[in-house]
Amino acid sequence: MIIVMKPGAAQSSIQAVIDSIEAKGLSAHLSKGEEVTIIGVIGDKSRLSTENLSVYKDVERIVPVTESYKLSNKKFHPEPTIVKVGNTQIGPGNLTIMAGPCAVETEEQLMCIAQNVKASGATILRGGAYKPRTSPYSFQGLEEEGLRYMQTASKETGLATICEVVSQDAIEAAVKYVDMIQIGARNMQNFILLREAGRSGMPVLLKRGLCATIDEWLNAAEYIMSEGNPDVVLCERGIRTYETATRNTLDLSAVAVMREKSHLPIIVDPSHSTGSYKYVPSMAKAAVACGADGLMIEVHNDPAHALSDGPQSLTFQHFEELTRELKPFCDIVGRSFQ
């Protein structure tokens, strides 16, 4: 449930409600807006069955929350969340572009890509050092060596960095080198990994699972946030359907649904969803038009010889053309870019 306090409620009244909630062994989540203060109750609300919170001073109303996710719920936190990553931020009014190779291959390759994507407007460099692949014989990533290359590229270009993690060991290594960690689609419901990501204190990008519902996705975010980490960004990257024309089916309606259900930022990955560089520009524009806070796009200096996901990677020229074409869409939806 949530307790909505009256506009201008005294701090003593707010604290009295919080004390009452915590006295019952529950957690209180405080969300202060410009005019209204909301107190979210987290835990078994049956413990409050003998407590009439509506009689407390400055309580306006009590609203039941039926969804199992609380911290990621817009009812608990009406204002949109802004997540700071390095020297950039993800949230309303801004279009954040993450770009780079699916897999980090060499230091020279990554530096070349970083310089080019920055010149075209990206503010976050993505690169895979740990690659959970469908086949065990595919390239699995450079691991910590790749992370060191990411750190070097960041220092040289000023770009923030993001890398996927697949284990607790990977998280412990990544926090030393990058600005944000990513939980991939295959690990969206790896609940132990989600908790470790929450404990890391790092901003976390949470990709939607291949067959996950919206509620399952938000509950996965809840695992991260329940460890005290509010800096979660959601990423729609396509879901598995019967359609085979694209790698996955990009569910852009998820952006609109998340706007209704959650306060967390949401970005779109048109590369993994389509599986083909030919479809990336149109889906990127559609994502901006429907309200996405950002894009994650794979860019490679030589897609034909990429060690991972070359067919969906843009060349430098294609990426520059795309970012130039995105500007009118940003203007229409009121977002700044570059």
* Report field, pTM of the whole predicted structure over 0.75: yes
**pLDDT score of 133:** 62
- The owner of tokens 């949470």 is 206
Mean pLDDT of 292-310: 95
pLDDT for 289 beyond 70: yes
* CA–CA dist 306, 117 (Å, integer): 17
Residue pair 197/183 in contact (Cβ under 8 Å)? The answer is: yes
Query: Residue 23 is inside which H or E element, if any?
Result: helix 11-23
Mean pLDDT of 117-137: 86
Spell out the domains of the chain, with CATH numbers in brackets: 2-63 (3.30.70.1140), 83-333 (3.20.20.70)
pLDDT for 178 beyond 80: yes
The pLDDT confidence band at residue 232, using thresholds 50, 70 and 90, is very high
The pLDDT confidence band at residue 34, using thresholds 50, 70 and 90, is confident
Q: How many helical (H) and strand (E) elements, i.e. helices and strands, does the chain have? A: 10, 14
Mean pLDDT of 247-274: 97
